[in-house]
C-alpha cells in the first residue's frame, strides 16, 4: 500500500522493519540493539534509578526497576509502567528513556516490572507479574513516599495491553484503586478484525503478520479472556480516567479508537489523540514534531490525572 507518512518520519521508514516474532530470541536481541541506539533522556532534576526484588504469588521472584524523582517532595504519585515488545521482547532497559522522562517531568515514581515473556511464559504469567508489582508498590508506598490515592497504570503497545488488563483486574477484584490509565498505541484485541488490522500488512515497526504471531505466543493456545485482550471486555464502566493515543498507519489504530469510544460510552472520562502521518512506535524518532507532540501530550495527561 501507499502511505502518506509524516515528512519528518518518511526518510526513516525503510529502516523500520517489524521484528520477527517467529524467532523470539533473535527478536529480543534486535530489540535490545534498537533500544540501545535510542538517545538517552537527560533529566532536569535528580532521578534515582534502582532495582528491587518483588515476590510473585504462584511465580518466581521478579525484578522491578524504580525511577524516583528525588527533588520532588512527597508524597508523590506513581505510575506502573510495563514495557512494550509484543509480549515477546523487552526487558528492564526497554523503558529507560520514557520512564526517566516521566519521573522527571511528571514527578511520579515509575515502576517498571521485568515481567515474564511469551512464548515461554504465556498469559497469564506476564499480567500476574505486573499485578504483583502493583500490589508491591502499594505495600511499599510509605517507604517510597508514594501517595496511594495517586497511582496510575500505563504503557505503550503491549505494555498498554498489560496496563489495561491490570485496570480490569483491579476493578473486578477490588484491588488497588487507580487514578488513571495512560495508553499509547495499545495492543488490545487478538481478533485482528478492524480495518487497520486487516489492511496494514506492510507498515513500519508493526504489521498484521507479526501482530498475529505476537498474539499466538501470548495466548499460547489458550482462551483469549478480557484480561488478556481487553477489547473483549463487555463492560468498561468503573475503569479510571483514560488517555488513548493512536498512530494513523498502525494496525493497532482502530482497536485503540474503538476502545476509547467504548470507554466514553461507559461513562469513563477519556481523551483520544490521533497522530496523523505517524506509525507504530514512531515516538522513538524524537526529532519529528509529531513525536514531540506525543511526548508533550503524555506529560500533560499524566500531570493532569496524577495531580493532588
What the block records as the C-alpha cell of 294 is 506525543
Per annotation, catalytic residue among 104, 250, 254, 282: 250
Q: Which three cell numbers stand for residue 70?
A: 528525588
Integer Rg of the chain from CA: 18
150: three-class secondary structure by DSSP: strand
121 part of the active site: no
Q: Is 6 a catalytic residue?
A: no
Active-site residue among 6, 112, 121, 157?
Answer: 157
The one catalytic residue among 91, 129, 280, 282 = 280
Burial per residue of 49-85, b for 16 or more beta-carbon CB atoms within 10 angstroms, e otherwise: beeeebebeeeeebbbbbbbbeebeebbbbbbbbbbb
Active site residue 157: yes
Q: What angle in degrees, to the nearest 10, is found between the helix axes of 158-172 and 125-139?
A: 60
| Neighbouring C-beta atoms of residue 40, cutoff 10 Å | 8
Contacts of 213 (CB under 8 A, 6+ apart): 21, 22
Spatial distance between the Cα atoms of 239 and 167, rounded to a whole number of angstroms: 7
**Total residue length of the chain:** 308
Backbone angles phi, psi at 251, to 5 degrees: -60, -20
> Active-site positions?
157, 250, 280
Amino acid at each position: 500500500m501507499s502511505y502518506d507518512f509524516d515528512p519528518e518520519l518518511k526518510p526513516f521508514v525503510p529502516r523500520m522493519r517489524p521484528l520477527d516474532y517467529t524467532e523470539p530470541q533473535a527478536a529480543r536481541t534486535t530489540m535490545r540493539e534498537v533500544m540501545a541506539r535510542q538517545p538517552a533522556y537527560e533529566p532536569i532534576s535528580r532521578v534515582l534509578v534502582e532495582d528491587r526484588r518483588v515476590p510473585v504469588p504462584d511465580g518466581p521472584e521478579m525484578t522491578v526497576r524504580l525511577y524516583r524523582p528525588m527533588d520532588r517532595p512527597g508524597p508523590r504519585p506513581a505510575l506502573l509502567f510495563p514495557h512494550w515488545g509484543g509480549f515477546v521482547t523487552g526487558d528492564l532497559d526497554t523503558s529507560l528513556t520514557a520512564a526517566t522522562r516521566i519521573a522527571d517531568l511528571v514527578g511520579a515514581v515509575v515502576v517498571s516490572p521485568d515481567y515474564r515473556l511469551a512464548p515461554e511464559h504465556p498469559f497469564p504469567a506476564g499480567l500476574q507479574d505486573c499485578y504483583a508489582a502493583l500490589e508491591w508498590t502499594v505495600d511499599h508506598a510509605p517507604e517510597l513516599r508514594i501517595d496511594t490515592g495517586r497511582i496510575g497504570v500505563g504503557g505503550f503497545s503491549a505494555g498498554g495491553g498489560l496496563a489495561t488488563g491490570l485496570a480490569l483486574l483491579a476493578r473486578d477484584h477490588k484491588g488497588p484503586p487507580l487514578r488513571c490509565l495512560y495508553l499509547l498505541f495499545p495492543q488490545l484485541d487478538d481478533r485482528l478484525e478492524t480495518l487497520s488490522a486487516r489492511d496494514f500488512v506492510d507498515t513500519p515497526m508493526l504489521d498484521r503478520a507479526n501482530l498475529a504471531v505476537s498474539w499466538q505466543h501470548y495466548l499460547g493456545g489458550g482462551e483469549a479472556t478480557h484480561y488478556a485482550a481487553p477489547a473483549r471486555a463487555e463492560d468498561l464502566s468503573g475503569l479510571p480516567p483514560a488517555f488513548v493515543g493512536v498512530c494513523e498507519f498502525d494496525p493497532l489504530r482502530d482497536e485503540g479508537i474503538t476502545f476509547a469510544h467504548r470507554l466514553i460510552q461507559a461513562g469513563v472520562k477519556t481523551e483520544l489523540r490521533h497522530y496523523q502521518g505517524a506509525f507504530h512506535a514512531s515516538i522513538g524518532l524524537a526529532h519529528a514534531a509529531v513525536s514531540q507532540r506525543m511526548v508533550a501530550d503524555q506529560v500533560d495527561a499524566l500531570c493532569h490525572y496524577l495531580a493532588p
